[in-house]
Structures are given as structure tokens and as C-alpha cells.
Amino acid sequence: MKKSEVFFIIRSFILWRVALFFVAYLAIYFIPIFGASFPYYDRVLEITHLPNWIWGFGNFDGVHYLRIAQDGYVAAFSQAFFPLFPLLIRTIASFIPKNAMLDTAIYTDPAFFYSGLILANSIFLAALFVFYKLIRLDFTKLEAKRSIVFLLVFPTSFYFGSVYTESLFLLFTVASIYFVRKRSFILSGVFVSLATLTRIFGALLIIVYLIEVVRNKSKNKFLPALGLMIAPLGILAYTLYLKANFGDPLYFLTVQPMFGAERSSGQIILLPQVMYRYLKIFLATNISTLPFWNAMLEALFTIVPLVILVLFLKKMRFSYWFFCVSALILPTLTGTFSSMPRYALMAFLMIPYLANIVRNKKNFFILASILGVLAVILTTLFIRGYWVA
């Protein structure tokens, strides 16, 4: 990678991070009343004594990761959150001085928030470099750079800079695919395993790995097989831990309805059924209310990417297409589009193909601007404690 490319990625990341803080700062003036639509923010985030435009990047699921990092899986149903991210937060926090006067039975030490925010952003920067290298296997330098821009201005890209698993999962995903394509099967298997210890969707990468191995047609069968054996070790370790401590190896699935905004873990609900449910929501909900627009947002971030992926079926590399489609459809099988604006981030592998189509500079600028405006709106809502995804 040339110096100009390295500087481009670093410069883009810094501009994105500064822009997020700036939007978060202005959010306080646009929405003076904090939504407070999630628990523990006073015990986990406000206790940092930082301004809201900083601690707001730990909102919603962030508080659960921070509490797990400090206390482990003591809170009811917290097992829905996979362990690697909070474990890394805890590791980094061990090097940060703690507040000895703080009652950690009630509050979460600010050191964990500092650790989580630093970790998420550092990992995201690393992920951008690997993502760029992965794109360059198939696309031009210009298309790779525009792909980075599209990812940064994606309406929910703020999750990459928040205390969420998005940045870590992105790194492991792009690294696993990059290395399997470069025939470094052991390294790829390791990154797949780490991804399965980060999010349940990491299991999809095992299939992606298999697709790429078959496509590579490697004469050496041992290394691909060894990589495949390594790949599921992360999620296997977590299931064994859950079995030993909670008596249910699939407890992370069992508790999903408690954290999943009306999700169902006991039955599969097909996409047309979910779409029908949302149609009834639109008809029954006042268009001037926030629930209506939340539902509209969730539906759009599901349907639009899926339509694009259908159009890209013959254009995209099949392993990429499979991962994107699966990552979008699987959450809907629980009966809701809730959180889909965030899950849509996992369709990032279609971004280079989008950049390839939007070649005209004017069209690129228009699309990036539209995405950027949406990003400002959703970041503002998220920081002020209003549900986005």
C-alpha cells in the first residue's frame, strides 16, 4: 500500500471521527431533552463526568458491554452479548487507573468507557486498512477510496465509533475473507473463530470460508481443512462456557427475546410475514409520531439493501453476496425489522460494487451527500438517547 493510500485512510478516519463528535455536540442543542430510552445510562455513562457528546457513544447496547466488561455475566439475560468485545475492554481497562471510591456494585468505573471507546475506534481504523486491501484485490484505487467514503458516510456508521461490536466484527470479517483469498487458510480460520466469539453472525463466515476454499481449488487439502477446524472454535468455546455456568449451551439464543425488541426465538417468521406486519404498523400508526418513522427506517434499511443485492446477484462475488444476503435476512426471521439499520452495516461487501457503478463524480457526490445527511440525523438521535437501531 502506497503512502498516499495510507494517508487517505488515516485522513478520512480522522475527518469522520471529528465530524461525529461535532454532530454529537450540536445534537444537544437540536434535541435538548435526553431520550433516556435505555437503562443504566446514569450508572455507566453519566458517571464518567464527560459531556454527553462524548459519553453518548456508549448509549444503548454499549452500557451492557461495559457492565459485562466490569462485572461479567451477572446481569440477567446479558448472555445475549458475546464475550470477546467486553473481554478486550476489560483487558485495556486494566491499564487505566480506577476510581477507588466508586461503589462498583452500583456503578461502572469510567475506565471501562475510556477503554471501550478507544478500542472501538482503534480497531475501526485497522479494519479500514484491511477492507481497503480486500477491495484492491478486485477493484481500482479510485473505487477502493470511494468505497471507504461510502462506508464512512453510511447513515449508521457511527456504530463503528461507538462502544459496540461493529468495528471488531468488521475487522475480523474482512481479515478472514482477505486471508482465505490469499490462501492463508490458518490465519483466515483464526479470524473466523474470533468473529464467532464476537457476534452470532460470525458463524456465517464459516460458510464463506468454505465457498472460497472450493473456489480456490487448492491442491493442499490439509491447510484448508485445518483452517476449517479452527473456524468454529470461538462459538464452541462460548457454548461450553454457557453450558457449564448456566446449563444451556444456546443461552445466547434463548435470551434474545428479552433484549430483541419483540423478537421471537421459538419460531421462524418469513420475510413476507414481517413485511405484512410492518404494513399494518404503517396503517395503524400516526405518521407524525416517532414510532412510525422508526418502523419506516427499519423497513427501508431492510428492503433497499435486499433489492440492491438482488440486482447485484450476477455482479458480486458469490461468497460476498451470500454473506450480505444472509446477514440481512436472518435477523428478520425473528419476526421484526428492529435493529436493521445497524445490521445493514454487515452488507458492507456490496459497497465496492456500488462504487463501481457510481463512476460519475457528480453522482458519487450526490449519493455520498444523501447518505451523509441521513448519518447526521441518525447520529443526533442516537446521541440524545432515542432509538435508532
**pLDDT per residue as tens digits for the range 6-60:** 999 999 999 999 999 999 999 999 999 998 889 999 999 999 999 999 999 999 9
Of residues 263 and 186, more confidence is placed in: 186
Residue for cell digits 443485492?
Answer: 309
Contact 67, 78 (CB under 8 A): yes
State which amino acid sits at residue 2.
Answer: K
Please state the pTM of the whole predicted model. 0.96
Closest residue by Cα to residue 360 from 169, 112, 128, 146: 146
Query: If you search the block for the grid coordinates 435470551, which residue do you land on?
Result: 255
How far is residue 265 CA from its own chain's centroid? 21
pLDDT per residue as tens digits for the range 273-282: 999 999 999 9
**DSSP assignment letter at 161:** G
Nearest Cα to 317, choosing from 344, 349, 346, 343? 349
Q: Taking all residues of the chain, what is their mean pLDDT, rounded to a whole number?
A: 95
Contact call for residues 119 and 91 (beta carbons, < 8 A): no
Using a pLDDT cut of 70, give the percent of the chain over it: 98
**Amino acid at position 188, single letter:** S
Kindly tell me if the per-residue pLDDT of 353 is higher than 90. yes
Q: Taking the alpha carbons of 11, 18, 43, 389 in that order, is the dihedral positive or negative?
A: negative
What CA dihedral angle connects 324, 327, 329 and 334, to 10 degrees? -170
Q: Are 56 and 22 in contact (CB under 8 A)?
A: no
pLDDT recorded at residue 260: 54
pLDDT score of 261 more than 80:
no
Distance CA 238, CA 244 (A): 10
Task: Spell 17-44 as b/e; 16+ CB within 10 A means b.
Answer: bebbbebbeebbeeeeebbeebebbeeb
pLDDT on residue 174 = 99
CA separation, residue 261 to residues 255, 307, 329, 334 (Å): 12, 25, 17, 10
Q: What is the mean pLDDT of residues 120-148?
A: 98
Report, in angstroms and rounded to the nearest whole number, the Rg of the chain calculated over CA atoms.
Answer: 21
pLDDT for residue 313: 95
Distance CA 36, CA 329 (A): 30
Per DSSP, helices labelled H in the chain are 3-30, 41-44, 52-55, 61-71, 84-93, 110-135, 141-153, 166-181, 185-196, 204-216, 222-230, 233-246, 251-254, 256-259, 271-284, 290-311, 318-332, 340-343, 351-357, 361-383
- Region 377-381 average pLDDT: 97
Query: How many Cα atoms occupy the beta-carbon half-sphere of 342 within 13 Å?
Result: 21
Using the predicted structure, report yes or no on whether residue 266 has a pLDDT greater than 80: no
Q: Please state, in angstroms and rounded to a whole number, the distance separating the CA atoms of residues 180 and 130.
A: 13
